[in-house]
Structure 1
Amino acid sequence: MTDRPMPLEIRPARTDDLTRLLEINNASTPGVNGLDAHGLSTLAGSALQCLVAVAAGEPVAFLLCLGEGTDYDSRNYRWFCERLARFAYIDRICVAPEGRGGAIGHRLYAALADRLAGSGLDMVCEVNERPPNPGSLRFHARLGFREVGRQDHGDKAVVYLRHPTGVVPALPAAVAERTG
């Protein structure tokens, strides 16, 4: 957790980012599933958007978003495919330990909303209830995501969330000042 200013650049992912993004992804389990290099490369290659937050020249976080019609073997992605004709599925958002607490996730979501503006695509995602991820549920609620379903998969239970593309609420002034 950090409370020091962290100036960021948010940009599309590049091939030379993948090694670092894999480290960040696998340090973020069980909030997201672990991947190998091939799995991450395949996901990033099929992404509607894969955004990277860079601080001091080094990736510190990323957000990977898939559109409908992607060949992706995920029961949660399929849940949305069965219910929505068009969407932007946020498959994962991962922040390196040294970047946590700096509102990077908020800024990645805001950047995604900006890039999707006018597309008619709602942002959708799921958050684990089992194993519990209450911080992520609070985070998504603050951004304006609303529950649209639940599923118990036996090994995991998830809450499905949806946000109409548009404005992600601004950072509170105190947080914006602290995080640069």
Structure 2
Amino acid sequence: MALAIRDVSEHDLDAVLALNNAAGRSIIALDAAQLRYFFERADYFRVAEIDGHLAGFLIALREGGDYHSPNYRWFSERYPAFAYIDRIVIANAYRRHGLGRIFYCDVTSYAEVRVPLLACEVFLEPRDDVVVLFHGTYGFQEVGQQRMGSKKGRQVSLLAKELPSYAYVCTTWLEHGGLPDLPWLAERLHSAPAASPRRLAGERRP
């Protein structure tokens, strides 16, 4: 089994959309325009490819964006710098292969050299104890709860994980010109207009 974790490409988008919308109630459905927003704006958008087949994807955004998710806004109102995992989806045929852990290791590696906090949420209605346990064993702690969108929206648990490596990276590199110019530390290329300087790899946000 040949596994590759790589940045999403435009030719992946149809398969990503189909995979997202087949995931059931645990994942909010998307349309093509919403997926295009992520393709153009997400700081982290990577897919897992197994033997040439799309097996899953993870999307994460840093603070300071114009994303209107109530959960992203919740973190924006409380934390000055973070990476927010918006969604992770694994195809049914590739579940129980450890891809969730592989993605979380990869997004942690991305985040810990840029921000002090990794954030996400899990649905409590319906509650999935396997998902709650997964996040707990991976070091996430609940920092709040809210209902999405309205008083009748689904209850979510808002989770955060402190990234202890960030302090060292910050004082060693980010405060002295930025991260080393290495391929594995580079930001993904966006198809949107040029990102502001604070989105370049290794630079601190004001």
- Structure 2, unaligned runs of 5 or more: 166-206
Out of 28, 41, 44, the position equivalent to 1:33 is 28
Asked if the contact 1:113/1:166 (under 8 Å) is kept, the reply is no
Out of 84, 100, 103, the position equivalent to 1:89 is 84
Q: Note closer, same or farther for the CA distance 1:96–1:115 as it changes in structure 2 (3 Å cut).
A: same
Q: Distance in 1 between matches of 2:164 and 2:53?
A: 29
Amino acid at match of 1:61: G
Q: Percent identity?
A: 36
Asked if the contact 2:83/2:115 (under 8 Å) is kept, the reply is no
- Aligned match of 1:132: 127
Q: Distance in 1 between matches of 2:60 and 2:28?
A: 15
Amino acid at match of 1:164: E
Amino acid at match of 1:54: E
- Structure 1, unaligned runs of 5 or more: 1-5, 168-180
The one-character-per-residue Cα deviations of 1:59-108 (angstroms, maximum 9, x if unpaired) are 11000001111111111111101100111000000001101111101101
3-state SS of paired residue (2:84): strand
- C-alpha displacement at 1:117, in angstroms? 2.9
Out of 67, 71, 75, the position equivalent to 1:72 is 67
The one-character-per-residue Cα deviations of 1:36-79 (angstroms, maximum 9, x if unpaired) are 11211112211010011110112110000011111111111111
Asked if the contact 2:142/2:157 (under 8 Å) is kept, the reply is yes
Q: Distance in 1 between matches of 2:35 and 2:44?
A: 13
Q: Note closer, same or farther for the CA distance 1:166–1:24 as it changes in structure 2 (3 Å cut).
A: farther
- Aligned match of 1:159: 157
Q: Distance in 2 between matches of 1:130 and 1:121?
A: 29
- Aligned match of 1:52: 47
Q: Distance in 2 between matches of 1:121 and 1:8?
A: 29
Q: Distance in 2 between matches of 1:24 and 1:157?
A: 24
The one-character-per-residue Cα deviations of 1:108-156 (angstroms, maximum 9, x if unpaired) are 1101111223213311001000122222111111111111111134220
TM-score by structure 2 length? 0.74
Q: Distance in 1 between matches of 2:24 and 2:73?
A: 21
Q: Note closer, same or farther for the CA distance 1:32–1:166 as it changes in structure 2 (3 Å cut).
A: farther
Asked if the contact 2:116/2:164 (under 8 Å) is kept, the reply is no
- Aligned match of 2:5: 10
3-state SS of paired residue (1:71): coil
- Aligned match of 1:143: 138
Q: Distance in 1 between matches of 2:98 and 2:71?
A: 26
* Equivalent residues in 2 for 1:82-121, closer than 5 Å: 82-121=77-116
C-alpha RMSD of matched pairs (Å): 1.5
